[in-house]
Amino acid sequence: MNIDQYSHLRRLRLNETLRDMLNENRLSASEFIYPMFVVNGAGVRTPIEPMPGIDQISVDIAVEEAQRAMESGVKSVLLFGIPDKKDATGSAASSPDEAVQQAVSAIKIASPDTYVITDVCLCEYTDHGHCGIVRGNDVDNDGTLPLLADAAISHAKAGADMVAPSAMMDGQVAAIREGLNDAGYSNTPVMGYSAKYASAFYGPFRIAVDSAPQFGDRRTYQMAPTQAREAMREIEADLDEGADIIMVKPALAYLDVIKEASMRFDTPLAAYNVSGEYSMVAASGQAGWLDQDRAMMEVLTSIKRAGADLIITYSAITAANILAKG
């Protein structure tokens, strides 16, 4: 048999220009969302040890980072706040004087075209580290909802373009949607952390914001890694409650869930390339065990290929710069 008489798939791989022309999935910097950890004060840039290249930053530095992201083509940021003081109810989450609210306003003044999304949760603000208020040894789901709504409203008042509830409390999207509407922010979209798993890959994030639970864990409200059908029910619930964008978190270990969600729902779909996924690649790259940039782009491409429309990633600026170089 003369194999040259037949189809050769390699023919379409031999030329770089042709390979680029035939790309089935293309990453775009405009699809990236860059997470930032903001703290009170000024001139603060504190490295986060398990997340090489990522820092806790004060509001003034956050403004600079948002502008740097915009210059690279990354037009959206996601803000997480770290308060000076924590309490049992996470009261600082809705304070207009806290870092997130101050950063939202400052970024929108300095970089009006930056699309600012805020995480809405209590875990960074509670002294017990859970995502809601605690009654006995359990999180009070319904008692937490008004507090999440208050936090979301405070973000919208500060100028947030979108809010993103991540507490995994049943009914959180509906409570926030109703609260925003009543407060005059009916045009503020809600991105639900719809299918959020109880994942070991959150470890570096919890160090970054000092939010590890002081007792128990979050498996009573975050999803078990074994669940796929349940993820579709969670997404449907968020959509029924008015979510404008849905999310799967983490991304890399749940590509099958992203794929299923992308095929089942017409709503825009985000995926969160979480801290542990970032840290694995960054640490391995620093150790010389793999090509960090290539591995990073391969991970992001896999998330895009699975069906994500938006990718939340700590690698956003680096990836955008690589894409700009072609």
Q: In a 3-state reduction of DSSP, which class is residue 191?
A: strand
- In a domain, residue 21? The reply is no
Distance CA 305, CA 212 (A): 32
- Pick the catalytic residue: 75, 86, 108, 249? 249
Q: What is the DSSP letter of 224?
A: P
Q: Indicate the pTM of the whole model.
A: 0.95
Question: Which whole number is the average pLDDT over 87-104?
Answer: 97
Question: Which whole number is the average pLDDT over 72-80?
Answer: 98
- In a domain, residue 40? The reply is yes
Question: Which whole number is the average pLDDT over 60-85?
Answer: 98
**pLDDT at res. 302:** 98
pLDDT over 80 (residue 208): yes
- In a domain, residue 17? The reply is no
- In a domain, residue 19? The reply is no
108 catalytic residue (yes or no): no
pLDDT over 80 (residue 216): yes
For tokens 């999440």, the residue is 148
**pLDDT at res. 2:** 61
What is the sign, positive or negative, of the torsion defined by CA atoms of 196, 162, 238, 90? positive
Lowest mean pLDDT among 1-15, 188-202, 231-245: 1-15
CATH number where 219 lies: 3.20.20.70
Question: Which whole number is the average pLDDT over 238-264?
Answer: 98
The average confidence (pLDDT) of the chain is: 96
Q: In a 3-state reduction of DSSP, which class is residue 127?
A: coil
- In a domain, residue 12? The reply is no
Question: Which pLDDT band holds residue 137 (cuts at 50, 70, 90)?
Answer: confident
Structural contact between residues 164 and 238, judged by C-beta atoms closer than 8 angstroms: no
Domains: count for the chain:
1
> In terms of residue numbers, what domain contains 198?
26-325
249 catalytic residue (yes or no): yes
Residues near 45 by beta carbon (within 8 Å), at least 6 away in sequence: 55, 56, 57, 58, 61
Question: Which whole number is the average pLDDT over 82-107?
Answer: 97
- Pick the catalytic residue: 75, 86, 108, 196? 196
- In a domain, residue 273? The reply is yes
295 burial (CB, 10 Å; 0-12 / 13-18 / 19+) is middle
Lowest mean pLDDT among 14-23, 184-193, 304-313: 14-23
**pLDDT at res. 4:** 62
**pLDDT at res. 1:** 56
Angle between helices 316-325 and 59-72 (to 10 degrees): 30
Structural contact between residues 106 and 145, judged by C-beta atoms closer than 8 angstroms: no
